[in-house]
Amino acid sequence: MSTSSESTTTTATPPSSHEAAVVLPANLHARPAGRLARAAATFTSAVQLAYGDRTVNPTGVLAVMALGATLGSTVTVRAEGPDAEQAVTALAQILATAE
């Protein structure tokens, strides 16, 4: 019986990480928080919103609203994972157009 020992090398791709800062054109209230939560839930990457000393997972409307970000505040969107760039772009766009 012959045994074949093949060596396979797996190169792990480091997770993609992206970040964007957005100055809010309006207070971060229920409507934009809901849009953020729905959009964030569609991505597989780990997404975070940061404002001041608080960081939250934006898949929850109440967590987003608890940030307390107001008109003129800078909110940072971070994501790490396979679709991080798309997640940051989509959430930053929602924040940038909040009414």
Catalytic residues: 29
* Residues, the chain: 99
Closest CA to 44 of 12, 72, 16: 16
The amino acid present at 63, given as its one-letter code, is A
CA angle, corner 50, sides to 87 and 59, nearest 5? 50
What is d(CA 73, CA 83) in angstroms, rounded to the nearest whole number?
26
